[in-house]
């Protein structure tokens, strides 16, 4: 028989690790004790676990040490580090709960788990398989579950330590107004709340002038077509188009200058809000969340100014949807990336709210949209008034979040 030499593995004396010698078709065992140098043991244990070899009689504190080693020495992301530990679901549930009860470890793991909304659903399925689908840690409806308690602490720290409003909006769109306004004032030292950056073509003192000019053409209720004369601001010439839209006080304009096209949305400053239905502030939260996560099914937003109650968006060419949409379910089927971010669209009242996603809308050479184009005629939303948000493992935390004020009160 061929002789194989194993480094001694750390662990509980008397516990054995078993693997099969594929050439000889024999089972080989190696005793485990605590007396050897830990680094080669850990390296060897890592290779065994990566190969799918399980450790019988899992010792939870030592499993946590292995978990930390994967993160700190092996530079493995926290969720992947957890998945590398191989044991029965009951043992893995105990490891998971132990991590959740440690403030630093849970902050790392939850941050990694929620970092990319698109992978969250699949990671949650993997997690359920790992710790067992009946684990109370997976019960998002229970505020006292280990995960919800840890997630509340995660949110406390996230809000406290974030250095920008964008860092919060990349995580989720459903923030309470006072939380964001207070955080902005803490960061900037003033209350002139804004998100994003004004495009350079309408910057340098032109933005406020353009907004004041456009508001003089604003209409309330049902809109009628209006011709807006061009405007010269310094050395910049602006041309405009008025888009009739809806029955609210929102007014939407096409703005063309220096060979670039934008959309500016304005509303009465008295109605500014980050939480009220139909407000531009709510749209700014939703659209910044989708833009920061590079959603191909929603028009990118550049800038929102709270005091002026105005926003600047990328101009989307009008490739109309030329057939009747019967339900919000049908719209969501056409916006799979939107749905992956936890957003559900339920407005079918007007086809002007979304356009067909085609190459001439986005321009050549934009690789991010290639998947959507290859899958067929997806939609791009340009008005997210009627949107709900839900993402598993991103539960609402009472101190910070409130449901989006979806006017349709319906999800699909």
Other residues' Cβ atoms within 10 Å of the Cβ of residue 251: 24
Q: Judge whether 260 and 199 are in contact, CB under 8 Å.
A: yes
Q: What ranges do the domains of the chain cover?
A: 58-159, 165-314
Give dist(CA 81, CA 321) in Å, integer: 46
Q: Is residue 107's pLDDT more than 70?
A: yes
- Mean of pLDDT over the chain: 82
Q: Judge whether 65 and 72 are in contact, CB under 8 Å.
A: no
Least-confidence region, from 50-59, 125-134, 326-335 = 50-59
Q: What is the pLDDT of residue 18?
A: 32
Q: What is the pLDDT of residue 123?
A: 95
Task: Return the half-sphere exposure (C-beta side, CA atoms, 13 A cut-off) of residue 83.
Answer: 15
Pick 291 or 380 by higher pLDDT: 291
pLDDT tens column, 176-206:
999 999 999 999 999 999 999 999 999 888 9
Give the mean pLDDT of 293-305: 94
Q: Is residue 147's pLDDT more than 90?
A: yes
Give the mean pLDDT of 304-328: 84
> Which DSSP letter does residue 34 get?
S
Nearest to 306 by CA among 199, 184, 218: 184
Q: Judge whether 92 and 130 are in contact, CB under 8 Å.
A: yes
Q: What is the largest CA-CA distance in the chain?
A: 92
Give dist(CA 395, CA 411) in Å, integer: 17
89-100 vs 103-114: helix axis angle to the nearest 10?
A: 110
Nearest to 276 by CA among 403, 412, 409: 403
Pick 13 or 126 by higher pLDDT: 126
Give dist(CA 167, CA 187) in Å, integer: 12
Q: Is residue 128's pLDDT more than 90?
A: yes
Q: What is the pLDDT of residue 61?
A: 94
Q: Judge whether 62 and 41 are in contact, CB under 8 Å.
A: no
Q: Is residue 349's pLDDT more than 60?
A: no
Alpha helices in 162-195 (DSSP H): 165-171, 177-188
Confidence of residue 348 (pLDDT cuts 50, 70, 90): low
Give dist(CA 147, CA 97) in Å, integer: 8
Q: Is residue 318's pLDDT more than 80?
A: no
Q: Judge whether 377 and 357 are in contact, CB under 8 Å.
A: yes
Q: Judge whether 283 and 177 are in contact, CB under 8 Å.
A: no
pLDDT tens column, 368-377:
566 666 666 7
Other residues' Cβ atoms within 10 Å of the Cβ of residue 159: 20
Q: What is the pLDDT of residue 85?
A: 95
Nearest to 273 by CA among 306, 236, 315: 306
Q: What is the pLDDT of residue 27?
A: 37
Confidence of residue 55 (pLDDT cuts 50, 70, 90): very low
Pick 285 or 379 by higher pLDDT: 285
Confidence of residue 30 (pLDDT cuts 50, 70, 90): very low
Kindly state the tokens that stand for 106: 């849970």
DSSP 246-265: -SSS-EEEEEEETTEEEEEE
DSSP 335-404: -HHHHHTTEEE---S-GGGEEE--HHHH-TT-GGGHHHHHH---EEES--SSEEE--TT----TTTB---
Nearest to 243 by CA among 327, 340, 318, 333: 318
Q: How far is CA 245 from CA 236, 286, 407, in A?
A: 27, 19, 16
Kindly state the tokens that stand for 38: 């830990």
Query: Residues 369-387, buried b or exposed e (16+ Cβ, 10 A)?
Result: beebbeeeebbbbbbbbbb
Nearest to 11 by CA among 63, 73, 71: 63
Q: Is residue 60's pLDDT more than 70?
A: yes
Give dist(CA 155, CA 134) in Å, integer: 25
Least-confidence region, from 51-55, 148-152, 181-185 = 51-55
């Amino acid at each position: 028989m061929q002789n194989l030499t194993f480094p001694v593995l750390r662990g509980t004396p008397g516990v054995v690790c078993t693997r099969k010698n594929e050439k000889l078709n024999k089972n080989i065992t190696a005793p485990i004790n605590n007396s050897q140098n830990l680094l080669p043991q850990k390296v060897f244990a890592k290779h065994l676990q990566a190969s799918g070899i399980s450790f019988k009689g899992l010792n939870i504190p030592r499993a946590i040490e292995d978990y930390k080693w994967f993160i700190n020495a092996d530079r493995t992301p926290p969720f992947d580090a957890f998945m590398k530990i191989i044991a029965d679901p009951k043992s893995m549930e105990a490891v998971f709960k132990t991590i959740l009860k440690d403030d630093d470890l849970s902050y790392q793991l939850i941050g990694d788990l929620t970092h990319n909304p698109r992978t969250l659903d699949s990671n949650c399925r993997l997690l359920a398989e790992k710790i067992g689908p009946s684990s109370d840690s997976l019960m998002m409806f229970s505020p006292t579950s280990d995960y919800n308690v840890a997630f509340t602490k995660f949110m406390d720290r996230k809000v406290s330590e974030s250095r920008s409003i964008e860092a919060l909006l990349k995580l989720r769109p459903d923030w309470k107004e006072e939380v964001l306004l207070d955080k902005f004032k803490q960061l900037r030292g003033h209350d002139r709340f804004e998100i994003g950056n004004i495009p350079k073509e309408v910057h340098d003192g032109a933005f406020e002038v353009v907004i004041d000019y456009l508001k003089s053409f604003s209409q309330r209720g049902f809109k009628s077509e209006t011709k807006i004369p061009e405007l010269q601001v310094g050395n910049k010439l602006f041309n405009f188009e008025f888009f009739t839209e809806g029955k609210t006080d929102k007014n939407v304009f096409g703005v063309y200058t220096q060979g670039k096209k934008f959309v500016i949305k304005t509303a009465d400053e008295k109605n500014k809000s980050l939480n009220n239905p139909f407000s531009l502030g709510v749209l700014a939260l939703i659209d910044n969340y989708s833009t920061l996560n590079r959603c191909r099914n929603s028009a990118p937003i550049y800038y929102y100014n709270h005091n002026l109650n105005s926003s600047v968006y990328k101009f989307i060419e009008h490739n109309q949807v030329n057939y009747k949409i019967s339900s919000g379910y049908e719209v969501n089927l056409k916006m799979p990336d939107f749905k992956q971010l936890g957003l559900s669209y339920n407005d079918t009242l007007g086809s002007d709210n979304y356009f067909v996603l085609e190459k001439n809308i986005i321009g050549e050479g934009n690789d991010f949209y290639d998947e959507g184009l290859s899958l067929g005629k997806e939609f791009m939303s340009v008005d997210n008034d009627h949107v709900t948000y839900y993402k598993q493992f991103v539960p609402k935390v009472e101190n910070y979040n409130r449901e989006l004020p979806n006017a349709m009160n319906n999800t699909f």
